[in-house]
Amino acid sequence: MFGNQRLLARYLQEAQASPEPTIRFEHMDVTGPAGPLPRQAEFLGNRPPSLDRAYLESILLPLAERAFRRPLTERERQVLLDSSIAHGDSAPAPEYAVHYGVRRLLLSPHFLYLELGDREMDDFGLASRLSYFLWSTMPDEELFSLARDGSLSEPGTLRDQVRRMVRHPRAQQFVRSFSGQWLGGRKASSVMVCDVRHVWSELIRYGIVRSTEMFFDEILQKNLPIRTFIDSDFTYANEPMRIAWGIPGSEVDLHRLEADQRQSLLWPEPERLSLASLGPEVPSHVASRGGVLGLTSVFAATGDGVESSPILRGVWVLENLFGRPLPPPPADVPALVADISEARTVREVLSAHQQVRKCAMCHSRIDPIGLALEHYDAVGGWRDEYFRDDPENGTAKPVTATATMTDGTSLEGAQGLKDYLAERPGQFTRALAGLLLQYGTGREPTSHDKRVLRDIVAAEPEEGYGLLELVTSLVGSSAFASR
């Protein structure tokens, strides 16, 4: 503000010192607007607002149906119109009746809450739940039309609508939101990475979030088997990620790419990487990046940006891939601290926890999974040895990613964990179906929901569900159509 005042003062001095004639404004009147703004005319019509009941019906009732995402009952119509007219009678201008009606709609619980009413949904409730599930917004006119004639809940119609909505660009909101929650994109987009030991940049952060979304989107759009999430022959990576992975072919470094991005404001988009056609010059670990357990976002989200955590990774895999969440600790049991004073490696630290019986109950399930993923550092980079405590004189400790599950199965790295999970497809199907149902309904699974999930898993074909097929099965279930 002060800079502008000094600039105006300098201009005034220059004008006064100039011999050329100047123009001086003595007075100015501004009137307007001459007519209603375009958006006002579109909403209120071209005539001035009035307290005419038919006029208020034409303005408020269509808005109310969109706000409530259903037709109003006769009583709701009467209360809305009568209260608006009464308010307009006591207001200084008739347009206040419209203002009041709009405020009443926006403060109604039927607008603020997606679902109110009995346990069983009608077609309008189903249209809203389906739309917010796949589009994160209110239903479009086609869904409203099907709900009005009562045909939306018919299995064939519902199946066709799911396919239509998944193909629509709005479905990208489902891809971003669900994959962001499930596969760590949300946390990876904000995790702080300040450790210079990691190869990292904001371009890599952008790449790992977008590559996760694109990986999920391909499985959805092509209806690939959900087992593709366990292991796949493709992934996505942008150029900064390829540089971090050691893939040859880039002629610039990360610093140059960051400088280019700041100038162009264009972020390097991920591209599909076929893992089955990698050349011999590509590091061998890149071939193991298929499936969810190769996505960088998962590892970045289960770390703190500095160190990896086998415990957090083990818990994440149990909950999100095996569908076996750990029970909460008993409320009356104090925190237990294992003696790790003599531990020198991560494996020794975890082993110390298992020496405590109450700790071992959970750690015997968590630790083997986390240890199998130890080749990935805190941001998903590959490592064959841990960082040295003393960079000058310390000795680097090699990474060993072998472990034994509670049933005696030996795991050899992330691939061993993928193989273990692939041999138990029903567990993953139930885990993914449960996550999708919880996302779509916005509630923890009820006992009824769990029975429905068991039936869906039992009906899985031998070749496995495609992702779109699984979504369609869930949408058509009684669990999805109940509050």
| Best CA proximity match to 346, nearest among 366, 326, 320, 324 | 366
Report cis status (omega within 30 of 0) of the bond before 398: no
User: How many CA atoms, within 13 angstroms, populate the side-chain half-sphere of residue 227?
Assistant: 15
What is the crossing angle of helices 346-354 and 310-320, to 10°?
A: 70
Residue 392: the pLDDT is 61
Residue 362: the pLDDT is 84
DSSP SS3 for 40? helix
| Best CA proximity match to 292, nearest among 193, 410, 199, 373 | 373
How far, in Å, are 133, 139, 164 from residue 158 at the CA level?
Answer: 14, 14, 10
| Best CA proximity match to 174, nearest among 465, 473, 467 | 467
Residues 261/268, Cβ–Cβ less than 8 Å = yes
Phi then psi for 410, rounded to 5 degrees? -85, 135
How far apart are alpha carbons 244 and 223 in whole angstroms? Answer: 31
Residue 340: the pLDDT is 45
Structure tokens that stand for 165 in this block: 């909505």
Amino acid at 406: T
How far apart are alpha carbons 355 and 339 in whole angstroms? Answer: 9
Residues 225/463, Cβ–Cβ less than 8 Å = yes
User: How many H-runs (helices) and E-runs (strands) does the chain carry?
Assistant: 22, 4
How far apart are alpha carbons 336 and 329 in whole angstroms? Answer: 11
Strands 410-412 and 402-404: antiparallel
Residue 391: the pLDDT is 58
- Return per-residue pLDDT of the chain as tens, 483 residues: 455 667 767 777 777 777 777 677 788 888 876 676 777 777 777 666 778 899 899 999 999 999 999 999 999 999 999 999 999 999 888 888 999 999 999 999 999 998 876 667 899 999 999 999 999 999 999 999 999 999 999 999 999 999 999 999 999 999 999 999 999 999 999 999 988 888 899 999 999 999 999 999 999 999 999 999 999 999 999 999 999 999 988 777 888 888 888 888 889 999 999 999 999 999 999 999 999 999 999 999 998 888 889 999 999 999 999 999 887 765 655 555 554 444 457 777 777 666 667 777 788 899 999 999 999 999 999 999 887 665 565 677 889 999 999 999 999 999 999 999 999 999 999 999 999 999 999 999 999 999 999 999 999 999 999 999 999 999 999 999 998
How far apart are alpha carbons 372 and 461 in whole angstroms? Answer: 30
Strands 402-404 and 271-274: unpaired
Q: Model pTM?
A: 0.86
Report the chain's terminal Cα–Cα distance, integer Å. Answer: 55
